[in-house]
Structure 1
């Protein structure tokens, strides 16, 4: 899975690089501005039922039960996603955007919601089946389709083609793999866990992801709003591309291990050994990454564009911030979800979001995109340490209740 994710991230990076070379910065900035609005909403697709599927599915014993749960999530999630797209369409027609063409791209990119939801539940089902090989294959195929689509459509249709490519990649991938997960769609057996608690977990997990996603997206939105410069939107998007792309490392570990440690969540020795091993590994990786960025940051960002060398400090600040996710948040955020406390992640992300908006309103006008980077770096560490403290306290209480 690690090699597949590396491959996937490399091709996603290539797709972004080709878009930068084929589309003028100003026009690309408008699409990126609209895309970040959709990225903010995307975790709510299916009302977070894909989150409930992976957590509650890991606690089920038989494949038949897991398949029944998948069908329930599939049907309900598609309905919710369709309503979400309709809501976006109506709302977008009412709102006045700062940049021309934003409305068109928000509506077009909203169609990414349904195929993205389908992909999430397909990957969740593969993880429940412990079919990591096919899970990795899904990641590879999606990234290949993305880079080919971006090159072809951006070359002929420029920014419109780029938006089409972003929608097309998850759509084609979900169609290719929906029939590869061995689900009998005629199965009508119901299970008793699809109650209010099941929906509540998914809802708060999705809100947590919305708030967490907005921690990254809000920088783009506020840069666009406060500086009123689409080129600065593009600059920040690409300066942050490499640091934020590195976040795949904790995600791939969680994608591989989430089902396993959820199944063993009451095994105190196993969980604490996992925490120690994970934190040691990612501390070493973090030191290496920051050192590399400090000494070779200039050369690294010239891979994107030589004009970005003016923002080497911004790049380094973001790399330091990402290590907070590496060491703390990636691990303890998922551990909170594994014990059924996804709402805690939402509380943490909401607190961070409020701090983000307030801080950026002061720092972006004063320091430009470096101010946005400082805010993001601080909050990545803040949310990571807070999730660690919260998990350790809740886990101790959970184990005491289990003993009783």
Structure 2
């Protein structure tokens, strides 16, 4: 019990409560912004904007070729403020150029794609420019975390959410779908302009760092690519249900039944986002890392058991609050709840520890392997068991990727420690 008390105390000491509140706040306001758009814009036109934006959303994690990921990991290993300042400037300059190149490629490719919906290319071109401010906001957040200023990191999320709601409401009200598209573009841009001065970066610094080599770029690219593939893991079930069952109602059922389990994944992310810099700074201190792992596992094992007990006894009541027709799929809900405990207890911590020791490419390989298994298993299980088959596949893969991450971390961590001795 002392491990849990100490773990939570350290989490709160790093202003983790601010990150938690900001995350909840951001989710609620994102929902409100989406609701405003739904009410103010005709469904057909809104659908075109959302279709184009979803394409960009998949690309945003690799904005700047993932250099924001390199910044947070390698920056945590630097000792002085001046070095971290120089690394930020390097990532800023190179990342903007890389992001602009990505925008150019997207726009160029849009001319060769025969989009099904009218005006999709127009909105894709506009929304592709979201990549630059999104990258800038990512490195600002990374720098706040490197400075152990989780409070400011949390504030950026709250302010961004407020700007999103306000801009979506007013721009959608006056300019309909084009206003909504510009609201999505302006939100990260305005947030960036408001917070970049708070970093107090010395933009005249010219210090060159040895770590900004090919390995540095490779780490960020694979870390970001891993996030993209992981997103696909959550999307592929929906796509395959629609394709294999040819039943849009089942797509809707699975989407809403999985809403609560997948929404709960924000909890381990809050802890990891708060602590990533702290445990990366001490990644070569084996005693500290092992103690951190034990504390994390104990806390989230208890949380997982609590969630499973609640789900077991009240699954039907929980689903009834969404829609009474969902009650018949309580088994699907329970299978998904069991699956996310695999992420809670294993994938959440060990996936990030792999990144912390510089092995982000392992996460990419694991996610890619899981994606392949997902497609193969779903082709067999969905026609046989319906949406329960999709849930079984996802649940197995959540545990499989978690176990694989843990095994790889312990195997590679010993090698990393040996090299540093």
| Superposed pair shares fold, TM > 0.5 | yes
Q: What does residue 173 of structure 1 align with?
A: 191
Give the superposition deviation at 1:203. 1.6
Distance in 2 (alpha carbons) for counterparts of 1:31 and 1:220: 20
Which of 34-43 and 83-92 deviates more?
Answer: 34-43
Q: What does residue 109 of structure 1 align with?
A: 127
Give the superposition deviation at 1:82. 1.2
Question: How is 1:188-337 mapped onto 2 (pairs within 5 angstroms)?
Answer: 188-223=206-241, 236-300=254-318, 312-337=330-355
Distance in 2 (alpha carbons) for counterparts of 1:154 and 1:60: 45
Distance 1:130 1:70, change over 3 A: same
Question: Which entry has the higher C-alpha Rg, 1 or 2?
Answer: 2
Which of 9-18 and 250-259 deviates more?
Answer: 9-18
Per-residue deviation, residues 313-358 of structure 1 (Å, max 9, x unmatched) = 5444333322211111110011001111111111111111111222
Distance 1:242 1:164, change over 3 A: farther
Question: How is 1:8-157 mapped onto 2 (pairs within 5 angstroms)?
Answer: 8-18=26-36, 32-97=50-115, 102-153=120-171
Distance in 2 (alpha carbons) for counterparts of 1:168 and 1:232: 36
Which of 168-177 and 47-56 deviates more?
Answer: 168-177
Distance in 2 (alpha carbons) for counterparts of 1:319 and 1:378: 11
Question: How is 1:304-383 mapped onto 2 (pairs within 5 angstroms)?
Answer: 312-364=330-382, 369-383=387-401
Distance in 2 (alpha carbons) for counterparts of 1:353 and 1:315: 21
Give the superposition deviation at 1:66. 0.5
Distance 1:103 1:22, change over 3 A: same
Q: What does residue 385 of structure 1 align with?
A: 403
Which of 345-354 and 106-115 deviates more?
Answer: 106-115
Give the superposition deviation at 1:264. 1.0
Distance in 2 (alpha carbons) for counterparts of 1:72 and 1:141: 26
Per-residue deviation, residues 7-51 of structure 1 (Å, max 9, x unmatched) = 223333444455566667777666555444333222111111011
Give the superposition deviation at 1:263. 1.2
Distance in 2 (alpha carbons) for counterparts of 1:273 and 1:8: 31
Q: What do you get for the CA RMSD once the two structures are aligned? A: 3.1
Distance 1:34 1:241, change over 3 A: farther
Which of 297-306 and 130-139 deviates more?
Answer: 297-306
TM-score (norm 1): 0.87
Which of 364-373 and 108-117 deviates more?
Answer: 364-373
Gaps of 5+ in 1: none
Give the superposition deviation at 1:396. 2.1
3-state secondary structure, aligned to 1:94 = coil
Distance in 1 (alpha carbons) for counterparts of 2:55 and 2:379: 18
Contact 1:36 1:221 survives alignment (8 Å) = no
Aligned residues: 403
Distance in 2 (alpha carbons) for counterparts of 1:7 and 1:181: 23
TM-score (norm 2): 0.84
Per-residue deviation, residues 193-245 of structure 1 (Å, max 9, x unmatched) = 11111111112212222222221233344456556777766665554443323
